[in-house]
Amino acid sequence: MAILGQIRKRSIFLIIVIGMALFAFVISGVFTSNGGFGANKPIGEVNGEEIDYEMFNMMVEQAQTVYGLNTINAVNLAWNQGLKNQALVQELEKLGIDAGKDQLEQIISTDQSLVMNPLFQNEIGLFDFNKFSSYITQLKSSNPTMYNQWRLQEQNIISLAKQKIYFDLIKSSVTYTNVESNIQYHLENDKVNIEYLRIPFDIIPDSTLQIKDSEISSYLKKNRDLYEKSESREIEYVYIPDVASNLDENNIRTDLEQLRDGFSQMNQVTNSIEEIKGFKDVKDYSEYIEIYSDISWDSIYKTKQELSSDFSDILFGLRKGEVFGPYRDGNTFKISRMIEKKRDGNLNKVLIADVVKEIIPSNESSNTNYRSASQAEFDGNNDLPLNNSNTSLFIDSFESFEKFDAGLPSYTNSRQVIKWLYEDQTKVGDVKRFTLNEGYLVAKAKSFNKKSLPSVDEVRDEISQILLNEKKYNFFLNKHKSNNDIESLSKDYDIDLERASAVTQYDPILVGAGAEPYIIGSAFSLNIDETSNILKGNGGIYLVRLISKDTAEDINLAAAISNSLGDREIERISTLIPEVLESKAEIIDNRSLYY
């Protein structure tokens, strides 16, 4: 009951995925090392049960294969769902909930692929569990591999059966009284028609009011749960891209021009100068591409639309044998030669051959970039700015709140930076150079921060607006406390009265204003033709007049409503239970040691 009590306090709606391929390992308990295949150092623990790395990595690879996720996202998916499910498995074991043949048969009998298989049907075409069992028994000798796969899946099904028993027990404890049902019925079905005046907050100039830093600080302290920052670690860094220089690009273009027109070179065998024909003149262009192009040629006829280049019009219009380029296409330079044209049905297609050179830095440029990164590292280690020797480098910063952050935004392969930042031996002031996919990143550990409230400057705009709206409401209230006539105020502020029809407390939306539960709730408390006091809503200052109220007729459907509400609550609880169990679990997370 303690768990149920926690669940009722939670408002987050979570979806538990059961029965998907990724979690076949998890649900049966093999997420932990007791059921895994390896004896590697654990990647973590759930309530003292070690999580086997080899088994966990299988789940990660499966997530990558099934969902096309990158490594970090796959790890997070496997980890998050694995924890929830393992915590649930442990709860079932603690309660002594077990499942036998009857529960197994019940679940298997819902699988249409098995039920409709003639192998498992009796004489009248109905699913026969005994025939299915006999088939599995035969597999043990005829196909041991498939039998072992079935045994794993069987454990999964048994675990699902245990979960069904668990949730059925919870279901039996969820009830709604007739009084609760009646309240909910009227919340959903009582309706009001209203006339209202909405005065936007910004009609009162911000300049008329003042927000002090002390007020922002006080608001922060009163709302600590909303604004408190988790523990974090911050770095400052510079990035040195290892890319081709302008000179490199010019040299690549020059090389392609020579390949296009022909060039002379020394034959090392004959020790004589030989003339090499250009791409525009060679007969065996396929061999020429194989020798001189960085990318192989796909001899496919293409329409103009299929030519992936900004120069598709020019390329498609080339004469047979004509060569175009060098031109840039993405991160390459190309020279292209028209080989053939043909009519394919109703489409005109061309065959174009390309000699492609990738735009990559020369050895000289790469050495320069490396020296620049090394110098930044040296400067940082000597308490100098990271860009002390190269002021063109921009010093940026990044604050990490999780030791399993994917990396720095916009920098691929930067997970390694986060791993270093959270290593036990990393201290504030430490500097390290990292080799990324397309350059170097030099990072300096700037600060390790405990839980704290943000500074006033960090939240000034957000909280100032909240406080301003409150002050504007009080300003308006004091100004018009002796005159809150809705028509008079409408005329004074030149704002038309608006109407809303058939509004309920269950769905308190005003078109054009959004959710206004307090305003709609206040309308339900009014008498016909009565006007409210001046009210503060989410989107402005309001006065509301009740035009009519439609109170739903009491009907003798209390039991049906109770069942409906109970079903909603059961669905909510069922999806929240894994989250609550996880929140109570003692978890050790060693993912950062492996990924």
Single out the residue of 564, 562, 569, 558 nearest to residue 171, CA to CA.
569
Other CB atoms closer than 10 Å to residue 559's CB: what's the count?
Answer: 11
* Whole-structure pTM value: 0.65
Output the pLDDT for position 32: 56
Q: Which residues of 39-62 are buried (b: 16+ CB within 10 A; e: fewer)?
A: ebebbbbbbebbbbbebbbbbbeb
Cα 498 to Cα 510: distance, rounded to the nearest angstrom: 10
**Beta partners for residue 449, in sequence order:** 232
Work out the number of other CB atoms within 10 angstroms of the CB of residue 144. 10
Q: Which of 303, 356, 248, 21 is nearest to 156 (CA)?
A: 21
Q: Which domains does the chain have, with CATH numbers?
A: 2-174+573-593 (1.10.4030), 191-228+456-550 (3.10.50), 232-241+370-449 (no CATH), 247-358 (no CATH)
Can you give the pLDDT at residue 40?
56
Q: Which two tokens stand for residue 221?
A: 């302290």
Q: Which helix (H) or strand (E) holds 514?
A: strand 514-515
- In angstroms, the CA 509 to CA 267 distance is 83
Write down the pLDDT at residue 476: 94
Closest to 154 (Cα-Cα) out of 91, 96, 115, 99:
99
- 252, HSE (Cβ side, Cα atoms, 13 Å): 24
Mapping DSSP to helix (H, G, I), strand (E, B) and coil, where does residue 338 land?
Answer: strand
Residue 390 has a pLDDT of 94
**Smallest Cα–Cα separation from 398: which of 442, 454, 462?**
442
φ, ψ of residue 577 in degrees (nearest 5): -55, -50
Neighbours of 146 (CB within 10 A): 12
Please state, as a whole number, how many other Cβ atoms lie within 10 Å of the Cβ of residue 247: 11
pLDDT, position 58: 83
Contacts with 302 (C-beta within 8 Å, 6 or more apart), sequence order? 349, 350, 351, 352
* Mean pLDDT of each 10-residue bin along the chain, 595 residues long: 33 28 42 49 87 84 86 88 84 83 79 83 86 85 82 76 82 74 84 95 92 94 92 96 95 95 85 88 92 91 87 92 93 94 92 94 95 96 96 95 89 92 94 95 96 92 95 94 88 94 92 92 94 94 95 73 71 79 86 85
DSSP assigned state of 206? G
Round to whole Å and give the CA distance between 518 and 536: 8
Q: How far apart are CA 80 and CA 76, in angstroms?
A: 6
Q: Tell me the three-class secondary structure of 212-235, residue by residue.
A: CHHHHHHHHHHCHHHHCECCEEEE
pLDDT at res. 190: 92
Residues 6 or more apart whose Cβ sits within 8 Å of residue 153:
24
Q: CA of 201: how far to CAs of 448, 470, 476, in Å?
A: 40, 9, 10
The one-character DSSP state at 351 is: E
Residue 344 pairs in a beta bridge with 347
The C-alpha atoms of residue 119 and residue 135 are separated, in whole angstroms, by 9
CA distance 444 to 221: 32
Residue 558, pLDDT score: 60
CA distances from 174 to 10, 108, 228 (A): 16, 28, 35
What is the pLDDT at residue 36?
43
